Amino acid sequence: MLNDTTIEAFNTRLTVDLNSIKQMKPSELDRVKSHGSAAEALLKNRDLALFVHQWQFEIMDQLTLIPGHDPDSNCQRVALSNQLAGIESFISTLKRSVSMKNRAVSLQNPAVTDKENINDN
């Protein structure tokens, strides 16, 4: 059953795409930046990266231990592959949040972006 925390998380989730980010209010852009900064912190967290890689290696070890090609073995392979795809999707979500944060920053500070472009040349 759903609890209040799950319902609150669903109702307050951040839904952003490149088309909607240009029409956002400053307060909404600040929320995008905050969310992206949190995602960036997770991506840079060395301990999280080690645990994610350890989990992936454990799943791959489980895949190599499946002996046959009967229907049950194939179902186990599919389930383990889905777990690997899930963690990759999670990492992609974090990267997308960081990308949206960077886009929001560039929209709010066009002068800074222009100066960086001038300095790069």
In order along its 121 residues, the chain shows pLDDT tens digits of: 678 888 887 777 777 777 778 888 888 888 889 999 999 999 999 999 999 999 999 999 999 999 889 999 999 999 999 999 999 999 999 999 999 999 889 887 876 545 555 555 5
Single out the residue of 40, 47, 57 nearest to residue 91, CA to CA.
40
What distance in Å separates the CA atoms of residue 43 and residue 91, rounded to the nearest whole number? 8
What distance in Å separates the CA atoms of residue 16 and residue 100, rounded to the nearest whole number? 8
Question: What confidence score (pLDDT) does residue 6 get?
Answer: 82
Question: What confidence score (pLDDT) does residue 87 get?
Answer: 94
Please give the structure tokens belonging to residue 70. Answer: 């009967």
pTM, two decimals, is: 0.77
Question: What confidence score (pLDDT) does residue 24 get?
Answer: 83
